[in-house]
Structure 1
Amino acid sequence: MLLSSRLLSIIRHLPTIRRYPDLQKTCGFSTVSHQLDTPRVLPETLVPRTPLGSSRASSHPPTFSTVFAQRNFSVSACLFPGREMRHTRSQDEEFAEHTPSGLPIIRLPTRLQGKVKRVAERKRQLDEWAREDRRRISERPLVIACKNREFNHRLGAPLALPKGRKGHKITHPKQNPRFLTLKLASQGWKQPKSKGDWFQIRPYIPFGGHPSLSHSFHDEQPGFEKFPLHPTLQQALRDFQFDASTAIQNSAIPPLLAGESAVLSAETGSGKTLAYLLPTLHRLMTEPRSREFAPNAPRALVLVPSRELVDQVFEVVGRVLQYDEVLQVEKRVGGGRHFRKVKEPQTGRVDLLIITPGILSTLLAKNAYTLSHIQTVILDECDTLLDDSFNHLTRDFLSRIPLHEGPLTCQPAADGSPDPTTLHQSPAAQLLLVGATTPLSLSKILDGVVDVDTLVRIKTQHTHRIQPHVLQTFLRVGKDEKPEKLLQLVRADQKGGLVTMVFCGTTAVASWLTRFMQENGLPAELIAKSVQAGNRAQRYAAFQKGGINIMVGTDVISRGIDTTFVDHVINYDFPRVVSDYIHRGGRVGRLGSGEQGRSRGRGAGRVTSLVAAKWEIPTVQAIEEAVRRTTEFRNVNANITRVMNARHGVDPLPEISGKGRHKYELSEEETEGLEKLF
């Protein structure tokens, strides 16, 4: 509070002014009569005593310091009447003896008194709002639990607001959280002293109410009967007890049945495979071939990045088509016993082809397959297929497919002239981009191949967000503490009979970690590019059937594969990008997790991350910030090759020409090496 210089001067010389009335007139001082319970001013009749330290009386007027030292006088007594003062018993007795009733006192001007009242009222109102907010927020679920409870965060709580009395946070209904400073539990994790800190993202949607099924409680027809699918498909869905369709299936199936090209984005484990397979198979069953039969000319193509995902999609198709005997479905993967099928491909009718980019490139180079009859092309896990690892191959495949309507043509008449009655136009192929994370630079990646603006965007509510029903723990550890901490976590899982997946950043680290756990008595197995294709398939099959409970791998096995039996995901090396964290964590909390098989009754599962390196901390902070703000992640681009090149200083891959074809041809050795890598 600011006072005028004149008022401050008067207050500073207050004892002298009260002793000599002539000075009051000189200062132009006006007084107001007011009776206090305990007067706090010097009486008129009070004779100044001898100054402290002096043996004789003084003839000159007493100074301010003299009176202040003798009486311990406080100016605030006049400024704030009624405020209790600190004084001695002798002073009370002296004031009661010499102070007459109705003695005029000095107080604040009226305008300043109004300001004081307004400030006090504002403070009271803020305190009242703070108490109400604390009461209301304390009833909400705890979303982020931290070792330091100061950083705990409840659902819908204010992010970072001005501090009130004694450091308690206060809120204002009109304050916008976007413009406030956000405090994170991981804010100081780059400091060495932060080792041993931790925080958890707790589930705030109870499991059993899976986020992809949150709408089904209000749906009059929760099943697939509401879709005009082929009767054989409906019968297969009933046999496998698919009682309710998910959010992405409800949003995607109708426009895909109508032939729309689209971008499908939904959280992991939400039923995206059925969302694009059911409309595709329905169209293959109901629409006849538009051209004459051609060998090895599929009408639908499903392109996936890994052989494990090929096997999974092929298995789902086999279950859905168990009552159909017309459609011909093939899968093509490399390595092992499938090598001869790629080296010497057979010729025959193909309606649906499920394949990886490396093998498709080899078959096209041998002219064993053609893509000219494609009616539907599906890029599953499109973020991986469109990064620098596969981008040049994917663009080449798309450039061979008629994604745009062809010119008007007609059949010749008997005399050789065009017959107008046969006028027709070849339709454009349907393009579907599917994934849990969609690159933000999709238009730039597919520039010159397809106009992304013409694609229908289909997206669910929880896309590009943390799974709200899975417990996720972040542990700040030292680099030398990671192996021992991992052993503690895995041993606890084995004692409880849980299935564990451990993710590493590189194949070398994954191989070393597998041997390390085996030497310490833990039966761990490895799935990585260093494992031969036959052994890799056997280990994955054993992992699915229950023969293996500890699987170690890289991000290759984090995309798309169905792992409803997994209970615990451990990030030994924390991922560099948020999209990799989403896919790794998506191995638990899937639709059907905890309901059947080994994981029956165990819930959605959990994710534990060991954070040791400084470059891992920005990703952790991005995850924590998105959860506190309840917003989507700002950037989900996952370009593995570009990240690795930046780390090792390697030049990026050659640029892609505008027409979509790569400027160089892959040799057979390069193609086989790419297939072994993925």
Structure 2
Amino acid sequence: MKRKLNEHDVPEAVGDKAAKGAPAKPTFASLDLDSRLLQAINSEKFAAPTPVQAKAIPLALSGEDVLARAKTGSGKTLAYILPILHSLLKRKATESKPAKQTTALILVPTKELASQVTVTLQTFTEFCAQDVRHENISRKEDVAVTRSRLAENPDIVVATPGRATQWLNQDVLKLVELKHLVIDEADLVLNYGYEEDLQGIAAALPTGVQKIMMSATLRTEVDTLTALFPSGGAKPTILDLSAEEAAEKPTLSQYIVRTAEEDKFLLIYTIFKLQLIKGKVIIFVADVDRCYRVKLFLEQFGIRSCVLNSELPVNSRLHVVEEFNRGVYDIIVAADENEVVGDESGKRKKRKVEVEEEQQEEAEAGADGETAADGTAVEQMDTENADAKTAAQAPKASRKPRRRRADREYGVSRGIDFRHVSCVLNFDLPTTSKSYTHRIGRTARAGQTGMALSFYVPKELYRKHKPTSIPQCEDDEEVLEKIRTKQEEKGAKVEEWQFDMTKLEGFRYRLADALRAVTRIAVREARTKELRQELINSEKLKRHFEENPDDLRHLRHDTETHAVRSQPHLKHVPDYLLPAGGKAAVARDVGGSVAFRKEKENSLRKRRAFNKGRGKGRIAKGKGLDPLKSLNAKGRGKK
């Protein structure tokens, strides 16, 4: 038996403690996974499986249907990816000539989550990439490209239910040999109105398919999911880790602030300028307009941030998340329009209308497009291409910002892996307690600590400041009561944030100055500028702009007429405004841990000042220089 020295330098058996107390903690090696997968796990420096991984992976490896609920950040993605990859590699090892066939389908509610799952697959197939092929068909691309990728019958397909149904109906996605079906964020898939798509997928499944469903909140959806995807024999194993999570030491602190509507802006200004909250912060707001209003407001004080909303193209949204995770920005302002609401009937009706609109648009595009060899209509111009042409060719006076239809497969509060978030700031309270749970799940992930800070407007202060008021704030008190109740059921506590608002009265005139500058026209044009820049940077439009350079020129030179006026004095906080202890924070010249861009010095002015001191230059003037004595009849610089 191996021995080591204890704290008293006495040899002690390594197994003594394990024999006395609780059973040894599980490791990835004890799960009997493929050696190539263990190699990938070691390269990612994962020490031990999380509770959901330790329980779900053995069940999935044994072939059981699993319906698991665990909090966000608990490693649910790896809990279903590892057993699928292990089973896939094991089957291929036993076959002499493995056939190309799709054996696993992973359904996710949003395109962002589909991209995240694909990245995870790439990471953990690093040492077996030649044996495992996976494709993400949820991203926006030419139909011919997606068709060719699916024609190769990849082993694993990642898609949203709507996109999977589309290719399944065209007999391009083949599920005849499917062995595993995964529904990630299962409750959100249902809430997004994908029930009809799931019914179509369920009808196409062969017998004996293993079903794995994961979610952060899986309550009333259990019956719906089991009815849609019935097990052949025994019922699915329901894995609920609520007890384990309740026993864990809480890593998330939740606070609320009672505030007037305009004081929300005053609070975020002082929070970031005085560094009351440090690290990365996600600010959740009610809608897209609010998103840009907060961003422009913070810019008045030199506080940098980026925006994330459904108006932006998918690739741009993914790029924003990547820049945030890399630390380029420490503040992200997110408009999560697709919140989970209690009554989904209205949303499902809206979903049907949107589907009909999309089908009508595809039919119109097909009438104008070229016909492919298989009789499928191909669009001549991408939607973005049409937007660019319209924006560039329209007269400037009559040009209005075309608001893109919100992407129904977009969601911020669920699924996306925001890394090392220290605080979730609910600038606008969500509409439901369920949505609140998913928002605050973006912080305190994987054992790290975090804070959730929420502003709420009481009834007596609602509509007292109309320029900053929104209808959603009217029900803040009712929503907050539901949030408190739900969090108490989970053993969590929502506390009042102890903050003395009287100390901020000196900053109020700066608040009014900044809010006056962020007008509705400025917000609208900020949205237009963002979309225009996306069109200019679009890879799909490069060819169009090469053939139509005037369109690109018009887009580049179409500047705003009502941009937010620059107010450099707001970036600096005078000492007499600072409360006790605030001077040290501002002295670092940072706002919310966001580095400022250094103001560039005018090099031409610097050179002129240097030459002036030496008595040279076009306007040489100096002490002791007599202009009459320096007069040269032959000309300046000639002798």
TM-score (norm 1): 0.52
Runs (5+) with no aligned partner, structure 1: 1-216, 406-427, 594-603, 634-678
Work out whether 1:606 is the aligned partner of 2:451.
Answer: yes
Q: Map 1:177-216 to 2 at 5 A.
A: none
Cross-structure match for 2:252: 470
8 Å CA contact 1:463, 1:632 repeated in 2: no
CA contact (8 A) 1:566 1:587 kept: yes
How big is each residue's C-alpha offset from its partner over 1:389-440, in whole Å with a ceiling of 9 and x where there is no partner? 32222222222212xx4xxxxxxxxxxxxxxxxxxxxxx1011110111141
Contact 2:72/2:445 (8 A) holds in 1 = yes
Q: 1:626 to 1:429 in 2, by over 3 A?
A: same
Residue 489 in structure 1 maps to residue 271 in structure 2: yes
Q: State how far apart, in whole Å, the 2-side matches of 1:375 and 1:290 are.
A: 16
1:506-533 superposed Cα distances (whole Å, 9 cap, x missing partner): 3343243333333443222111111123
- Counterpart check, 1:430 vs 2:285: no
Aligned with 1:301 (options 92, 105, 110): 105
Please state which structure has a larger fraction of its residues in helix. Answer: 2
Q: Which residue of 1 aligns with 2:631?
A: none
Cα deviation for residue 219 of structure 1 reads 4.4
| 3-state SS of 1:551 partner | strand
Question: Are positions 1:563 and 2:418 aligned together?
Answer: yes
The Cα offsets for residues 89-119 of structure 1, whole Å up to 9 and x where unpaired, read as xxxxxxxxxxxxxxxxxxxxxxxxxxxxxxx
Q: Is residue 112–residue 314 contact of structure 2 (8 Å, CA) maintained in 1?
A: no
**SS of the counterpart of 1:587?**
coil
Give the C-alpha shift of residue 481 in structure 1.
2.3
C-alpha separation in 2, matches of 1:317 and 1:351? 12
Q: How is 1:267-416 mapped onto 2 (pairs within 5 angstroms)?
A: 267-288=71-92, 297-324=101-128, 325-335=130-140, 341-342=145-146, 345=149, 347-402=151-206, 405=207
**Does residue 39 of structure 2 align to residue 235 of structure 1?**
yes
Q: Is the 8 A contact 2:436 2:483 kept in 1?
A: no
Q: Percent identity?
A: 23
Give the C-alpha shift of residue 328 in structure 1. Answer: 1.0
In structure 2, relative to structure 1, the CA distance for the partners of 1:489 and 1:344 (3 Å cut) is farther
Question: Aligned pair in 2 of structure 1 residues 339, 630: CA closer, same or farther (>3 Å)?
Answer: same
Residue correspondence of structure 1 range 496-511 to structure 2 within 5 A: 498-511=279-292
Deviation at 1:447, TM superposition (A): 3.3
Structure with higher RCO (Cα < 8 A, 6+ apart) = 2
Distance 1:356 1:627, change over 3 A: closer
Q: Residues 488-520 of structure 1, C-alpha deviation per residue, up to 9 Å, x if partnerless?
A: 334345x87521111123334324333333344
Worse-matched range after superposition: 466-475 or 313-322: 466-475
Q: Does the 8 Å contact 2:280/2:331 carry over to 1?
A: yes
| CA–CA separation in structure 1 for the residues paired with 2:47 and 2:229 | 39
Distance 1:397 1:290, change over 3 A: farther
Q: AA paired with 2:452?
A: V
Q: 3-state SS of the aligned residue for 1:479?
A: coil
**Cα contact 1:503–1:573 (8 A) shared by 2:** yes
Count of residues in correspondence between the two structures: 380
Instruction: Supply the RMSD in Å over aligned alpha carbons.
Output: 3.1
Paired position in structure 2 for 1:619 = 479
Q: Secondary structure at the match of 1:368?
A: coil
Q: Deviations over 1:229-252 (max 9, x none)?
A: 111112222222211111111211
- Which consecutive residues of structure 2, in runs of 5 or more, have no partner in the other structure? 1-20, 337-410, 458-472, 494-639
Aligned counterparts of 1:222 and 1:455: Cα–Cα separation in 2: 23
CA distance in 2, matches of 1:359, 1:590: 30
Q: Which residue of 1 aligns with 2:607?
A: none
CA distance in 1, matches of 2:288, 2:190: 22
TM-score, normalised with respect to structure 2: 0.55
**For the Cα contact (< 8 Å) 1:266–1:459, is it kept in 2?**
yes
Separation (CA, whole Å) in 2 of partners of 1:260 and 1:291: 27
Query: Which of residues 528, 536, 559 is equivalent to 2:309?
Result: 528
Indicate if the aligned counterparts of 2:65 and 2:231 stay in contact, CA closer than 8 A. Answer: no
Separation (CA, whole Å) in 1 of partners of 2:412 and 2:138: 16
Helix, strand or coil at the partner of 2:438:
helix
Q: Take 2:434 and 2:245, find their aligned partners in 1: how far apart are those partners? A: 8
Distance 1:463 1:312, change over 3 A: farther
Counterparts of residues 76-225 of structure 1 (less than 5 Å): 218-225=22-29
Cα 1:219–1:360 change in 2 (3 A) is same
Q: Could you tell me which of 315, 324, 329 is aligned with 1:548?
A: 329
State the partner residue of 2:261. Answer: 479
- Structure 2 vs 1, CA of residues 459 and 496 (structure 1 numbering), >3 Å: closer, same or farther? closer
Matched, 1:442 2:222: yes
What residue in structure 2 maps to residue 589 of structure 1?
444
1:472-492 Cα offsets, whole Å, 9 max, x none, are: 111122223222223333434
Q: Distance in 1 between matches of 2:105 and 2:158?
A: 6
CA contact 2:52–2:76 (8 Å) conserved in 1: yes
Larger of the two Rg values belongs to structure: 1
CA separation in 1, counterparts of 2:143 and 2:264?
A: 40
Cα distance 1:219–1:574, how it changes in 2: closer, same or farther (>3 A)? farther
Q: Work out whether residues 269 and 586 of structure 1, in 8 Å CA contact, stay in contact via their aligned partners in 2.
A: yes
Deviations 1:544-571 (A, max 9, x none): 2111211111331221222232111111
Instruction: Show the counterpart of 1:578.
Output: 433
Give the Cα separation in 2 of the matches to 1:312 and 1:585: 19
SS of alignment partner, residue 563 of structure 1: coil
Partner secondary structure for residue 386 of structure 1:
helix
